[in-house]
Amino acid sequence: MKTTVSLPKAKIVNKELNVHNDPRIDSYFWLNQREDKEVIDYLETENAYFKENMRHTEDFQKSLFEEMKARIKEDESSVPYKHNGYWYITRYEKGKGYPIYTRKKETLDAPEEVLLDCNVEAEPHEYYKARGLSISPDNTMMAFGVDTVSRRQYIIKIKNLITGAYFEETIENTTGSVTWANDNKTLFYTLKDPETLRSYKICRHSLGTSVTKDVDVYEEKDDTFDVFVYKTKSKRYIYIGSSATLTSEYRYVDANTPFEDFIIFQERIRGLEYGMAHYDGHFYILTNADNSTNFKLMKAREGATEKKYWETIIPHREETLLEDIDVFKDYLVLSERTNGLNHIRIMRWDGSVDYYLPFDNETYTAYSSINIEFDTEWFRYGYNSLTTPTSVIEFNMRTQAFKILKEQEVLGGQFDKTNYDSERVWATANDGTKIPISLIYRKGIKMDGSHPLLQYGYGSYGHTIDPYFSTTRLSLLDRGFIYAIAHVRGSEYLGRSWYDNGKLLKKKNTFTDFINCSEFLIERGYTSAQHLYAMGGSAGGLLIGAVINMKPELYKGVIAAVPFVDVVTTMLDDTIPLTTGEYDEWGNPNEAEYYHYMKAYSPYDNVTKQAYPNMLVTTGLHDSQVQYWEPAKWVAKLRELKQDDNKLLLHTNMETGHGGASGRFEALKELAEEYAFLFDLEGITK
């Protein structure tokens, strides 16, 4: 379609970057000046080009938005949970895009108390996000964090729940989370470095005093570590955690004596990861100690917490990843993963009971839900699958009876889960490894290669994309798309070794796995190269960028959302948020071996003169995780070198950051744009 807006062209200003005697020329380095008018003008030009190229789909985008919104119940409420004498409920009202946080005293029939109406708070702002609502032990005060820039730098506010008034003091540049001591007047919070945004310091604040009098309790000097603070479920201790990708260290103090010095639980040892829960005079420790790659459960007595005192409770198992634990007065609940599938194991402390909850699907997700109460025999968990909406289920660990507290409603009268099929298939990687793929599609589809397929991938940080239900995805499926999640190496879908084999000097496995999945889906007739699309965001955007440099001919189109594509330059700049904490994931390019390896796959560094698929690239000007200039530079270089007439669109949201638009439904507009881009390439117009 001919446009009236000319093709954007970023000026070329060659800058030489020389590390390890390897000169690189970066022609678009200048785009990293966020406040520069010329940079803003260029981004606006790209936005105008995007808008012009998508103009013919605007009516379709609006109908897609309304279609997706119509499936969502607007006057929605969360499942109430009880904590310290109150039932807590998050609800939405029709026509409003932000949550309302409420509570009721003792019974659900009690009058509602509104803790925070985010619709009111958000009114003056283009972007608004509240997080970390934390109630004081005596239920009279609430602290929470607010971000109005989308930079994930939260201002902590404190509210008197008796009077409704806010305390004068506010605390800036934090993670937004707060931990109360048991005296109801002392709280701990985490400061961020204003430049790198690293969480680096834990501070103590006394209610009603100036923030200038706050005490620095702990500062993390190692810039590859982040810090955080929280209270145990038993309410006995406050933990300060220091965490790198491969190493952890904790300190603790009695929550009743918050002015005492924190005690080190176990000093950091390179490669030792651990986390704890407290129960009945013991700490229960989830750890990879003693080469327990998939983690094991150990325990230590109060006062004897060094590793040499740890005793094994649940041993390491080669076939099962131990992901998390929930501690109750009489029960221990283990969240496990075997052969890629979630399992929930329930045990009595006295050893008289040990069983698994039954699940009979291969494309499901099951997980521990909100379980704050300690002295209860009821365990809450969530369940959904690619074809089944989410349910919150309450399970009696003693009687094994269960009740469904809430089933996700899909409004509109069109959805019937029996109209869809899901399956798990296995592709073969270049090295012979079997790669699982979760699929969903409309029943009756003929696997003759004629159907469009959207293949999604991530594959970093050990983060697993489980097969989950999505109401918005129905807009793809009902128009003939097949949807696939490629469980590539770099996640923990098949255990910790699955992650280890997709990072550092094995990172390329992530990309070749994704390609092998694409080839498998084509070979088996699920789709063809003329109808195959790929999508990923953030580190998943790196995946997309690497894949289309390697095998662009496999894909008709791709979507790269907030993509991490300028790997070498970013990882060499330790002033950029997150860089130093990422060395254990990608490697430190100040070391030649890692530099040359990541240079060999970095999407920006490997753009060449070849044909590329149709592309939609999105970013946010205030992105704190992947800076906007990475996708902007990438698109500029692609425009310079690509040898085709396919679409290349860059859309920068000038108001938001990494997570996109705020508000419950605003994000649907961005999704409608992405879907319209795919549908347009397929010739689907309604």
With CA atoms as reference, report the closest residue to 335 among 602, 556, 327.
Answer: 327
With CA atoms as reference, report the closest residue to 505 among 601, 416, 573, 441.
Answer: 601
With CA atoms as reference, report the closest residue to 559 among 440, 476, 655.
Answer: 476
Interatomic CA distance for residues 275 and 250, integer angstroms: 8
- The residues pairing with 25 across neighbouring beta strands, listed in sequence order, are 16
Interatomic CA distance for residues 169 and 425, integer angstroms: 56
With CA atoms as reference, report the closest residue to 478 among 527, 441, 446, 532.
Answer: 441
Q: At what angle do helices 508-523 and 539-550 cross, to 10 degrees?
A: 60
Interatomic CA distance for residues 226 and 239, integer angstroms: 14
Two tokens at 396?
């009696």
Q: Please pick, among 243, 518, 538, 662, the residue that the annotation labels catalytic.
A: 538
Interatomic CA distance for residues 157 and 189, integer angstroms: 12
Q: Is 538 tagged catalytic?
A: yes
Interatomic CA distance for residues 469 and 179, integer angstroms: 33
Residue 358 CB contacts under 8 Å (≥ 6 apart), including other chains: none
Q: Is 623 tagged catalytic?
A: yes
CB atoms within 10 A of CB 6: 10
Residue 526 half-sphere exposure toward CB, CA atoms < 13 A: 27
Sheet strand arrangement including 311-314: 274-279, 282-287, 296-301, 311-314
Q: Please pick, among 199, 623, 651, 662, the residue that the annotation labels catalytic.
A: 623
Q: Please pick, among 278, 658, 662, 680, the residue that the annotation labels catalytic.
A: 658
With CA atoms as reference, report the closest residue to 173 among 135, 199, 136.
Answer: 199
Burial per residue of 41-55, b for 16 or more beta-carbon CB atoms within 10 angstroms, e otherwise = ebbebbbebbebbbe
Residue 218 CB contacts under 8 Å (≥ 6 apart), including other chains: 201, 202, 227, 240, 251, 262
Given the structure tokens 């904790």, which residue do they identify?
250
Sheet strand arrangement including 434-442: 420-428, 434-442, 482-486, 453-456, 532-537, 557-561, 614-620, 648-653
Written as one string, the DSSP assignment of 91-114 is E--TT--S-EEEEEESSTTSPPEE
Interatomic CA distance for residues 502 and 489, integer angstroms: 5
Strand, helix or coil at 399?
coil
Q: Could you give the residue numbers annotated as active site?
A: 538, 623, 658
